[in-house]
Structure 1
Amino acid sequence: MNPLDVFYKLKNDVLLTYQKQYPYFEGNWKTFSSQDIQNLIDLIAVQVKQTVSEKWIYTHLKVETNDKLPRKDMLDILSQLVGYSGWDEYVFKWKQEVVPIVAQPKRNNKVVFSVGFIGLFLMGIFIYSYLNREEVQTIPVKNAFTEEQINSEEVKAVMIENDVETPIEIVDSKIQITAKESAKIVLKSPYYKDKTVVLGKENPNEINLQPDDYAMMLKGFMKSDIKDWETRKEQLQKILADDLEVLVMLKNDLGIEYFNKQEFSEKLIVPSVALKRMKVIDIQSNDKNEIKFIRIIQE
């Protein structure tokens, strides 16, 4: 049984899993409707906490024959849906079902045949894994102006590949990627402008984010000990929109505190310990680049 044969088994198990949730469905992949596809997408999101696109299901599941295996991360998602830790365990299950043929042979030639078959099967898996191996690349994330590395806690990154979003952990201001061509990395930060990096044959050695000037000024007000409150007040009038809304998410899930421009400015004018313990997680600006919305959590 080659890897494609195992994939056909997996497709059948996905159908059986779907039928357990929707007993009224008695068809096959050929009769799988657009509503069934949406139901399956929702089922994967609930049970596996992953997303699969409608296009991917049409391309790889609804077709009667597959020319090649899908990417392993997608095979992992389907394997988890049917009750396994991933594709490797699912393949191992079918390998185990082949082994008993060897364990109790009636003739030596059958033993040789079975052993050879298993060897070819394992070799096929090895070749597939080798051809689909992905090298890990480490990319630092820096401030485009200062060329200093950005605080890891101030940036969020996700990889988008075949309509599937996967969060990327940022450690020591660096990200590690194993994506192939056509994937994208999206980086977002309250203090920097959003950036999308399209990966290809030659990926960047570093990713530079352009600071949002007004957001950086706000950060300085909140974290530094500026003594000249008159200057601080004038600058706040410039960078904060008149219709500013500030939401502070209180600790211990106690709710949200609301501030308008005047109320929030008064908090910023006089530095305090409580102010420095506030962490900005979202900033939105208007057409004039004035800050119109701020979301904060208490640390």
Structure 2
Amino acid sequence: MTHLLTVPEGTVSYEVHGPDGGTTVVLVPGMGDLRSSYRDLVDPLVTAGHRVVVTDVRGHGDGTHAFARHGVEPTAQDVSALLDALGVDADHPAVLVGSSFAAGSVARVAALEPARVRGVALLAYAANDAPAGRAVTAQVRLLLARPWGAAAWAWFYGSLLKGRRATWTDAHLTDLRRALRTPGALGQLRRLALALTAGGHRTLLDQVRVPVLVVTGALDPETPDPAATHAATLATVPHDAVTGLLVPEAGHYPQHQRADLVAPALVDLVAGLPRTSGAPATGGDA
């Protein structure tokens, strides 16, 4: 069942699976993606006894398509509002999982609200702190223009799937094209993409004190050296309660390219976390 979260400027769509009594695990997709990209992670987490909440990002999915603000910070604010709606507090903290730019958003929530967050998982983490440059900005404007923008995005998304593909990948690409033909949706994706290429976003990963899992596709074409990028992300976390998974045969979307590896890693992450949060993770600076 689809729910709509009311936030400033519009609504954001999400769905809830699993028992109310389990740990709340919130899954946030990346730019131009849909919450269904996490479909292979939901059942393993629910089977482990957790309440799994899968959300779209603003301007995507079944919510409204007229947001003026986009990027790491607005998405973090939406995640925080979703935690409010779900009743997540210091007595019932959540685990946050984000993909690509949204990995930065969930890191930001963890840094600012550690009492409500038990741990975070960063999939294909992107800081978006530096501007991408005029050439990339021009390419984004061209790629996401009408009338070809929906098809062009599906093609670009597919180009990031280096390595294995899920059996449902072709159907997912069709869903992406269909979603972007919704009035206003392509413009929202374009606004988000331009906001990210402009840089200046602050994920606050260097201030996160809760345990962190970093997941990177070993073939991710978004970076010239995925292993080095993976190591740099691990090094940014300011404590020792950080683990990494460099996923073989996966590009920018390890959550569905290699769910056979990512799902168990997430289940293990949640199982190994303390029941409460709010205290600095072991091994870090006070």
Q: Which has the larger radius of gyration?
A: 1
Give me the TM-score of the superposition, normalised by structure 1: 0.21
Q: Which has the higher contact order (CA 8 A, sep 6+)?
A: 2
